Structure 1
Amino acid sequence: MLEISNKVKEMYPNIKFGVMAINITYSNPNKENFLFLKNSVTETILKQRPEYNRQEKIKTEPISNYIKYYKRFKKTYPVLLQLESLLLKSKGIPDVGITVESMFLAELKNLLLTAGHNLDKIELPLKIDVANGGEHFYGITGKEQVLTKHDLFLSDNIGILSSILNGPDNRTSITKDTKNILYFVYGVDGISEKQIQEHLSDIKDYVSSAFSDLKVNSIDIF
């Protein structure tokens, strides 16, 4: 399913990727079950970090692994900002659909960068490559995004699906009606297969709390 270019292996030899494809067909999700789980996980995250200090947090894994990647491009890790919105501003996960909220919830818990895509809009195979700089695609908001040289990006036969620095595309974005979903984890240097596996398992559990007919078609770590 995933082709990794030689350039990726040369420039980022220790990076890992996680891919999970799921299918849901049940038309009436159990929103109460999911909301209970969402609130429970959120409360646990808040209790684990009663006195938040950014300077101390960025020294801990896995945040420190992503900070190192983003720092080379003079960028801030977005999942860190999402965590701080919860901890410091009490801003929870917005109502954007259970399958997307499940991904955000797992990101806050495990702090691993994840992109979600509508699998029905993807034309396989998937490919990971290193940007030359200047490649472009339309981001999740519909705004044109230009890739930064040496950033990692995911593409299919049609175009770019996401990059680490620019996030996911608009073409394959997940809606509340999406039934076939692809979750993709960018595991930068220092992130283990075990961490990725557990992260994907959390996403699966969160989604299945609302969709009892969830089917996992594949889970692969590269």
Structure 2
Amino acid sequence: LREKYADYDRKAVFGENPYFRFFKKFKKTYPVMQQFESVLFKGRPFPEEDPVMGVPFLLELTTFVLSGTHDIDRMDGPLTIFTPSEKLPFLGMRAASTHTYPKDICGRDSSGIIFSMIAGADDRTCIHPDSRHVFHPVFGTPDTDQAVIENALRRLEFFVKVLAPDAEIESRII
């Protein structure tokens, strides 16, 4: 990344990025841009000790597509994707109180909200060191080209197969 982006210009790289624009509507900074810059400029290390977390991190750094990781065994029932019309509270990662946003892309199970594209993952289903049965949501925005998501899913599958050649993989675009 340091070689490829030696002449990094935030506006040139992220200015037209649909995620950057989507987050800006919510007065938020696109977290993938922050991660990218922390690796590029601050020497943030790659999470080598946890390959399950390394997969979405690598996907985000190489595609600038937002993804996540949740422990399926910690979920309560099926996943429902929804877009709230109001702010809904939930317990985010590290037990921090957070909320969804109107027109945010969110997911919930029978026990409550497990992710918000804007606010992030919940504390209950986010991955832990012992997580092995996971799903990686790959998020799109209303103006993200479907080919970008399809490419990200193929790349995600490749990364997973490198780490776990016998992994069972399902992909769906919703």
TM-score normalised to the size of structure 2? 0.90
Gaps of 5+ in 2: none
Partners in 2 of 1:59 and 1:135 — Cα distance? 29
Q: Does the residue aligned with 1:161 lie in a helix, a strand or coil? A: strand
Instruction: Give % identity.
Output: 27
Q: 1:192 aligns with which of 145, 154, 160?
A: 145
Structure 1 position 169 matched with structure 2 position 116: no
Structure 1 gap segments, 5+ residues each: 1-44
- Aligned partners of 2:74, 2:31: CA distance in 1, in Å? 25
Report the counterpart of residue 40 of structure 2 in structure 1. Answer: 87
SS at match of 2:11: helix
State the superposition RMSD in angstroms: 1.8
Which of the two has higher C-alpha Rg? 1
**How many pairs align?**
174
Q: CA deviation at 1:95?
A: 4.1
State whether residues 136 and 147 of structure 1, in contact with CA within 8 Å, keep that contact through their aligned partners in structure 2.
Answer: yes
Among residues 49, 53, 70, which one is paired with 1:100 in the alignment?
53
**Alpha-carbon separation, structure 1, partners of 2:147 and 2:76:** 29
**1:94 is aligned with what amino acid?**
P
Deviation digits for residues 132-179 of structure 1 (CA, Å, limit 9, x no counterpart): 333111111111112223322111122101101110111111123222
- The 4+ residue runs of structure 1 with deviation greater than 3 A are none
Alignment-mate amino acid for residue 126 of structure 2: S
* Deviation digits for residues 90-133 of structure 1 (CA, Å, limit 9, x no counterpart): 22323451011111011110111112111112234322222233
Equivalent position SS for 1:178: coil
Match of residue 96 from structure 2: 143
Contact 2:52 2:132 in 1 (8 A): no
